[in-house]
Amino acid sequence: MLRIILYDKKYRDDFIRLNTDWIRKYFWLEESDKRIFDDVEGSIIDRGGQIFVALDENEKVVGCCALIHHPEIDSYELAKMAVDEKVRG
């Protein structure tokens, strides 16, 4: 069973790991990705967005997604979605 929680700084490395693994498998890491990963909190949380983290029954991070706030158009972008390859399906 999975539990979805709000982001905490202790999940930063997991957020970066899951997303970079997914991006590198299907695409390539762009400068915009690197900027977000260099400052996860400042790029997403501090700008009014949110990150959700999926934990398994052992409290291991197995997924995540971010809502990036775009106040100039009063909307949110669903971004940085990733699921650990071992639990997909």
**What whole-number distance in Å separates Cα of residue 61 and Cα of residue 54?**
6
Residues 17-64 pLDDT 10s: 999 999 999 999 999 999 999 999 999 999 999 999 999 999 999 999
- Give the residue among 59, 70, 48, 47 at the shortest CA–CA distance from 14: 59
pTM value is 0.93
Domains of the chain: 3-87 (3.40.630.30)
Evaluate if residue 66 carries a pLDDT over 90: yes
Place of tokens 């197995």: 62
| 74, burial (CB in 10 Å: exposed 0-12, middle 13-18, buried 19+) | exposed
Contact 80, 22 (CB under 8 A): no
Adjacent-strand bridge partners of 79: 66
